[in-house]
Amino acid sequence: MMTDPIADMITRIRNEVIIKRTALTMPSTKIKYNIAKCLQREGFLTDVRQEEGSVCPTLHLRINYGPNGENVINEISRVSKPGRRVYKSIEDVKQVKSGLGIYILTTSKGILSDREARKENVGGELLIKVL
């Protein structure tokens, strides 16, 4: 049993970025898929596919790199943890590095980036910080 599947997903992405690998496969859940789609909308991932398997669904991700091979994801970390949840209203969510990074929030309208949450004017639980 895995205690924190979101932290596992973040660690897998971080490890793949360190070794400059583009393709990544992991067990899929609904929240992991929605986080990956949010990262794709923000340009950190190029492709997100969910494949139904016989035992459990699999999530296939392709990590985006710059035109000269530079990292698009420089830092990815978990903000809200199972032992310490962090909730913020949208007015309290600051921009990450003057808009160069994003926060991923779980809101009443689904999993959104901080930019999308500002447009929808909803706050929620801060899940991930990406630079």
pLDDT tens track for 6-43: 999 999 999 999 999 999 999 999 999 999 999 999 99
Q: What is the pLDDT of residues 73-85, one digit of tens each?
A: 999 999 999 999 9
> What pLDDT score was predicted for residue 41?
97
Q: Given pLDDT bands bounded at 50, 70 and 90, which one contains residue 110? A: very high
**Rounded to whole angstroms, how far apart are CA atoms 129 and 113?**
10
Query: In terms of C-beta density within 10 A (0-12 exposed, 13-18 middle, 19 or more buried), how is residue 85 classed?
Result: exposed
- Domain 5-130 has what CATH class? alpha beta
Q: From CA 119, how far away is CA 121, in angstroms rounded?
A: 5
Q: Are 33 and 50 in contact (CB under 8 A)?
A: yes
| Mean pLDDT for all residues in the chain | 95
Question: What predicted TM-score, i.e. pTM, was given to this entire model?
Answer: 0.95
Residue 2: the pLDDT is 76
